[in-house]
Amino acid sequence: MNPLNDEYFMKQALAEAKEAAAEGEVPVGAVIVCDGRIIARAHNQTECLNDPTAHAEMLAITSATNVLGAKYLTGCTLYVTVEPCVMCAGAIGWSQLGGVVYGASDEKRGFRQFAPKALHPKTIVKNGILEEECASEMIDFFHKRRQAIP
């Protein structure tokens, strides 16, 4: 059994999501894997960077292209805790990521509902990996945030 499987890499993305939550960011984490090793990791930083495009996926893609010195990520897989939004799906499509694995679906903003053809046609998508843990992270974050509002 290969210990470096989808669950392993999703746990790494979850660690990034937890870091985001600790910083007051929406808890989405991402890692990009190439040839069985993580070449990029990121979490949402929209608040600290004051940048609405600073989603975990966008930051991870930028980091991965810098590591590889190439704009295409055809041999790589993105692991992300929540289904990418339309903006991120566009970036995933343009970077030609070979695979996308996400944990929890996002019925409000997920690309599958609003832009199901945004990804490159050859991109393989898997969903539901550690879905409960990924969804829990989001639910807990927003529950705590609502309780903090007077």
**Candidates 25, 57, 83, 137; catalytic one:** 57
Q: Which residue has the tokens 């903006």?
A: 87
Annotated active-site residue 137? The verdict is no
d(CA 50, CA 33): 27
CA atoms in the 13 A half-sphere facing the CB of 119: 23
3-state secondary structure of 11: helix
Residues marked active site are found at 57
